[in-house]
Amino acid sequence: MTRQEKDLQINEIKQLLQDNSVVYLTDASGLNSEETTTLRRACYKKDVTVRVVKNTLLRRAMDSSEEADYSELYEVLTGQTALLLGNVGNVPAKLLKDFRKKHSMPLLKAAYVEESCYLGDNQIDVLTNVKSKDELIAEVIALLQSPMKNVVGALKSSGNTVSGLVKALQERG
């Protein structure tokens, strides 16, 4: 690979890192072509990009990235590395977990989610429980709406009670 081709690859990887807020580094070296195709299709359906990269080129792209600090991930850049890139934090983790119900690979090397680094395959359960930004916003809105619904419900029910009392008093009087 010429220097110009390497620079082109580095720029492509850098652009992928900029376009996606979630980066998973996996070791898919034990997968055959059929399993790899199955994984790629599952990722495509969930809007997750899969890319096998050279570690040195990935490291250079990460070094030149100004948006995020990937330095904690450098120690896992050994062997074959496949990137899973997306914009929802827990989707790649759920994909990996579901895929590994039938296959032993790929192993999670590390992940960069919500400006935090997770190292090791043992972090997959933690990553599946990480809530996306949209999920957190929905939870906050639901929590904020809950007291309002209770107040409105109480006013409606007490309004019916008051009007019932007024009618009863009118009928007597």
Q: Are residues 77 and 54 in the same domain?
A: yes
Considering the domain architecture, whether residues 73 and 154 belong to the same structural domain is answered as no
> Backbone phi, then psi, for 54, in 5-degree steps?
-80, 140
- The pLDDT value recorded for residue 111 is 85
51 & 112 share domain: yes
Please choose, from the candidates 43, 51, 8, the residue with its C-alpha nearest in 3D space to the C-alpha of residue 26: 51
The answer on 171 and 96 residing in a single domain is: no
Q: Which phi and psi (to 5°) does residue 113 adopt?
A: -135, 130
pLDDT at 81: 87
Q: Are residues 52 and 95 in the same domain?
A: yes
Cα separation, 23 vs 41, in Å, equals 18
Say if residue 139 is in the same domain as residue 110: no
Q: What is the pLDDT of residue 96?
A: 85
In a shared domain, residues 103 and 146: no
Supply the CATH number for residue 14's domain.
Answer: 3.30.70.1730
The ranges of the chain with pLDDT < 50 are none
Q: Quote the domain boundaries for residue 15.
A: 3-130
Give yes or no: residues 35 and 113 share one domain. yes
pTM to 2 decimal places: 0.72
- Quick: pLDDT tens for 92-109: 888 888 888 888 788 888
In this predicted structure, what is the pLDDT of residue 156?
63
Whether residues 56 and 119 fall in one domain: yes
Whole-Å CA distances, 71 to 26, 103, 109: 17, 30, 14
What tokens appear for 14 in the block? 């850098």
pLDDT at position 154 is 56
Largest CA distance in the chain: 100
